[in-house]
Amino acid sequence: MNQKELNELRRRFKPDRTAISKVYGCYVSSSRQIISYVDAPLGLLSQEEQEMYLNLLKKTLSGTLGRNLIDIVFSTAQVADSDEHRLLQTLRQTELQDANARESLYRRIIDAIDMGESSYLILLAADTYDVPHRSRDDLEVPDASETVFRYFVCAICPVKDPTLALQYSDRDKEFRGGSTGHIAQPPALGFLFPAFDDRAANIYNALFYSKDTAQLHQEVIDAVFRVQEAPMSPQEQQNVFTSALTETLEKDCSYDVVQSVHGQLSGMIEEHKANKEVEPLVLSKTAVKRVLESCGVPEERTATFDEKYDTVFGADTELRPRNIINSKQFEVCTPDVTIRVNPERSDLLETRVIDGKKYILIRAEEGVEVNGVQIHIS
């Protein structure tokens, strides 16, 4: 899926645009016990309640593709005959009306998920979208549907325990002590099935959402999708990439090389953003090697990196630059010192060996402060 397709689906989650007729779900305790079930006909709810449910569900399509939103890819064998894909297809084709299938999904999630001491709410909703035709100038043509996209979303929302607080009573015109009640928070994770690729259903893919990019809830991915190649979280991708650079470049992994790699990848990210590209920016192994070569990495080191890449990522895996660097941050650390630099001015730093000792030098002009006190360097 690309950002344009994602935005198109997100616009569905409004009372006057959605075809969602009912929201299903269950409220689960921290001890994995189902406390109650949700079976809410959307049309019988107030406008405010409809918007509350739809906003929670919509959150599972928020964030950044490749970071918060991860492609789950099923194998051909799974699509042809597997319990996990059959369950998802049953839920989709019955528009979630199969109670046994819903219960089976709940149990898979509940038995696997680690939400710590928090209770949580599982929400399910199915939608049918008549995908409008687009003209050559990319404008929607009313009443000219190309295809029908049937899908469902799942949102898993932590529930905040009640707290005592002073609350204002309009009736009594004063503050009184009371409980806030159990409050459903924005989802920590969720998914869309099937994916909306090329504005049509792709049953070979699902789109998984994780609010925390450092924690993908791999246990839920394994339980629900059981894919052969589990996706790495963005934090894992960055850690693996930096380790691969360190291990394969060895003594050639200098400040200048790392600075140059960061600069080139940041430039790609900014150019992609400026051009308002619809498709996410990705780099093949060959493209990553070209970046290293242009940054002055010797040929024998890039060959070693090539082999390491195959081992840790897979030869055909494409990397998203946003996942392997932070273009907004440039940081130099020693065991005792941390230096944060504007990425656009990383040229102010250099490394040197003086009288046998290693130094990090910072070129300083005006406006140098120490603990808020402006100092003079002479």
Q: What is the 3-state secondary structure (H, E, C) of 131-189?
A: EEEECCCCCEEEEEEEEEEEEEEEEEEEEECCCEEEEEECCCCEEEEEECCCEECCCCE
Q: Does residue 141 surpass a pLDDT of 70? A: no
How does pLDDT run across 319-372, given as a tens digit for each residue? 999 999 999 999 999 999 999 999 999 999 999 999 999 999 999 888 899 999
Q: Name residues whose C-beta falls within 8 Å of residue 52's C-beta, 6 or more positions apart in sequence.
A: none
How does pLDDT run across 41-78, given as a tens digit for each residue? 999 999 999 999 999 999 999 999 999 999 999 999 99
Q: Does residue 136 surpass a pLDDT of 80? A: no
How does pLDDT run across 248-279, given as a tens digit for each residue? 999 999 999 999 999 999 999 999 999 988 88
The crossing angle, in degrees rounded to 10, of helices 255-274 and 234-249 is 140
What's the pLDDT score for residue 144? Answer: 65
Q: How many CB atoms lie within 10 A of CB 158?
A: 19
What's the pLDDT score for residue 2? Answer: 92
What's the pLDDT score for residue 169? Answer: 84
Give the count of alpha carbons within 13 A of 112, CB side only: 17
Residue 263 has which token pair? Answer: 């600069």
Q: What pTM did the predictor assign?
A: 0.86
Give the count of alpha carbons within 13 A of 42, CB side only: 24
What's the pLDDT score for residue 179? Answer: 84
How does pLDDT run across 25-42, given as a tens digit for each residue? 999 999 999 999 999 999
- Per-residue pLDDT band at 142 (split at 50, 70, 90): low
Run of H or E including 57:
helix 47-58
How does pLDDT run across 68-105, given as a tens digit for each residue? 999 999 999 999 999 999 999 999 999 999 999 999 99
